[in-house]
């Protein structure tokens, strides 16, 4: 007979505060160096900017102490650092544009969107006390996600910008609904898969070593495939189409641990893209730019030429290993350098070293998201955290892959870095959801005192009554071993 010794779990808020100070130092130093490099003097508002960034960070930190004291202490500092680096780079491009006589500035707008995003993230943390509440709205989230996807197609509401119809204009603002749709669909996928994962993993025939699903279980997959292809065809948005279908296939793999789903998903998407490329000219143009970017006739084509891509590649090349330095490059020569091509802008002024350091921040963020998925005790939380972490990782891969010509350009934005209110709002909500789930994952189980007896299965039981269930466990819970093996996990 033995007694349970209380084990004190550290909340990590002190560690988080220290890391926030470091993140703020990076963000404010980047802003100051941009001013010094471009104008030989500190920005006039550097103190106000620093105070504003510190205030926003402190607000989220205090909300976490209040509502999610056991949340992961690394996620928030990484997000603040990325947001701050992005603001500094957008300010740098504004200065270059101003020197050439431009009048449209983006840094102030991005700072305002950052403040709104922080407030919205805090609201999510305060209102959503338990992430499992979202499971009640599985099919509501599906409907909301599909409605958001089709909003740009409504006449008078949707607008076409740069050849893609992915925006809506209302009350003087332009928004990209697909950014919010990815969150709704992640909730739907998690709720649907946690209920049907056994039938998806075990039922159905086996052909050539692949476990195929039953036709009646294949319906939702076909709906998502059709929706992703429809986005590609009607909205001319390869990035969102790829992101949505990739999200579902990745969550299917985590839920079922079946490699066959990856193969089926790749074959289905490849078939859809091949059909769209052969049928629709705007899709074929993306692949033409990718394969023949340096051809003179492709470069000079207007609109839809490869000039933006090639200029971005030359910017990366001129940055070299250590970059030209903050404020010393010419990122303004690349169209939409503050949004679609902000990675190329960073690579030019920070070099390969600075760009790799920035990508490592994304790696850390995704790793903490996957550790949260491993540690949380319910199946819905596991799938939702894994899906949200995958969204960030996949967006980074697609953006960097497009800019470096590994894959065709897609038009997705880099999370937290690129200019865009819709993207910033959505990704701060993603961060808030990961923080909420990580609070449950790291929160200690209720303290148990009393004699424990060994059970025949090797577990521990209270007074010989059998293994005690984990807090928050659901009837269909089981460990996601594939995720655990992939990340080398244990509890965070």
- The domain locations on the chain are 13-439
Assess whether pLDDT exceeds 60 at residue 456: no
Cα–Cα distance, 282 to 288 (Å, whole number): 10
Residue 165: name the closest of 151, 179, 180 by CA.
151
Assess whether pLDDT exceeds 50 at residue 457: no
Band of pLDDT at residue 465, cut at 50, 70 and 90: very low
Strands (E), 142-247: 158-161, 164-170, 173-175, 206-207, 210-211
Q: What's the average model confidence in pLDDT over 468-472?
A: 41
Least confident range of 160-169, 315-324, 331-340? 160-169
Handedness of CA 70, 73, 76, 79 (dihedral sign): negative
Q: What is the pLDDT of residues 355-375, one digit of tens each?
A: 999 999 999 999 999 999 999
Least confident range of 51-65, 94-108, 349-363? 94-108
Cα–Cα distance, 253 to 383 (Å, whole number): 10
CA 448 to chain centre: 38
pLDDT at residue 492 in the model: 42
The larger pLDDT score, comparing residue 179 to residue 283, is at 179
Torsion over CA of 386, 388, 393 and 397, rounded to 10 degrees? Answer: 120
Assess whether pLDDT exceeds 50 at residue 129: yes
Cα–Cα distance, 362 to 377 (Å, whole number): 25
Band of pLDDT at residue 474, cut at 50, 70 and 90: very low
Residue 69: name the closest of 129, 6, 25 by CA.
129
Q: What's the average model confidence in pLDDT over 411-432?
A: 92
Q: Classify each residue of 374-386 as buried b or exposed e, where b means 16 or more C-beta atoms within 10 Å of its C-beta.
A: bbbbbbbbbbbbb
Cα–Cα distance, 159 to 161 (Å, whole number): 6
pLDDT at residue 195 in the model: 85
pTM for the full model?
0.87
Cα–Cα distance, 143 to 185 (Å, whole number): 9
pLDDT at residue 454 in the model: 44
pLDDT at residue 479 in the model: 40
Band of pLDDT at residue 159, cut at 50, 70 and 90: confident
């Amino acid at each position: 007979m033995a007694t349970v010794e209380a084990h004190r779990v550290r909340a990590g808020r002190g560690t988080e505060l220290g890391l926030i100070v470091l993140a703020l130092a990076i963000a404010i130093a980047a802003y100051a160096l941009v001013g010094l490099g471009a104008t030989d003097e500190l920005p006039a508002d550097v103190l106000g900017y620093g105070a504003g960034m510190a205030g926003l960070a402190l607000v989220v930190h205090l909300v976490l102490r209040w509502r999610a004291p056991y949340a992961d202490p690394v996620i928030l500092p990484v997000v603040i650092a990325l947001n701050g680096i992005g603001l500094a780079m957008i300010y740098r491009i504004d200065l270059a544009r101003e020197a050439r006589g431009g009048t449209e500035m983006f840094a102030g707008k991005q700072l305002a969107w950052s403040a709104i995003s922080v407030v919205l993230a805090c609201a999510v943390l305060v209102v959503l006390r338990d992430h499992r509440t979202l499971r009640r709205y599985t099919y509501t989230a599906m409907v909301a996600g599909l409605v958001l996807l089709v909003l740009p197609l409504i006449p008078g509401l949707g607008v076409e910008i740069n050849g893609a119809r992915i925006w809506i204009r209302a009350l003087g603002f332009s928004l990209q609904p697909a950014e919010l749709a990815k969150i709704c669909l992640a909730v739907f996928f998690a709720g649907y898969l946690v209920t049907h994962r056994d039938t998806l993993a075990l039922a159905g025939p086996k052909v050539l070593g692949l476990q195929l699903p039953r036709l009646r279980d294949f319906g939702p997959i076909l709906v998502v495939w059709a929706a992703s292809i429809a986005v590609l065809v009607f909205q001319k948005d390869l990035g969102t189409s790829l992101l949505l279908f990739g999200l579902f296939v990745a969550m299917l793999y985590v839920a079922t641990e079946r490699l066959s789903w990856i193969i089926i998903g790749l074959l289905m998407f490849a078939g859809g893209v091949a059909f769209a490329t052969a049928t629709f000219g705007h899709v074929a143009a993306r692949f033409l730019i990718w394969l023949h970017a340096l051809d003179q006739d492709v470069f000079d084509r207007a609109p839809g030429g490869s000039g933006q891509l090639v200029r971005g590649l030359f910017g990366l090349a001129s940055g070299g290993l250590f970059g030209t330095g903050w404020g010393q490059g010419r990122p303004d020569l690349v169209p939409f350098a503050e949004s679609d091509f902000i990675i190329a802008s960073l690579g030019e002024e920070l070099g390969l070293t600075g760009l790799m350091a920035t990508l490592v921040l994304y790696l850390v963020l995704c790793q903490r998201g996957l550790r949260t998925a491993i540690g949380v005790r319910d199946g819905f939380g596991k799938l939702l955290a894994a899906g949200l972490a995958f969204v960030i990782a996949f967006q980074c891969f697609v953006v960097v892959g497009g800019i470096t010509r590994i894959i065709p350009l897609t038009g997705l934005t880099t999370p937290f870095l690129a200019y865009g209110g819709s993207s910033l709002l959505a990704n701060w909500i993603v961060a808030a959801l990961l923080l909420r789930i990580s609070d449950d994952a790291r929160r200690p189980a209720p303290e148990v005192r009393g004699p424990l007896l060994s059970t025949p299965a090797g577990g521990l039981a209270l007074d010989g009554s059998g293994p005690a269930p984990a807090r928050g466990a659901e009837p269909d819970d089981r460990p996601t071993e594939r995720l655990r093996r992939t990340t080398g996990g244990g509890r965070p």
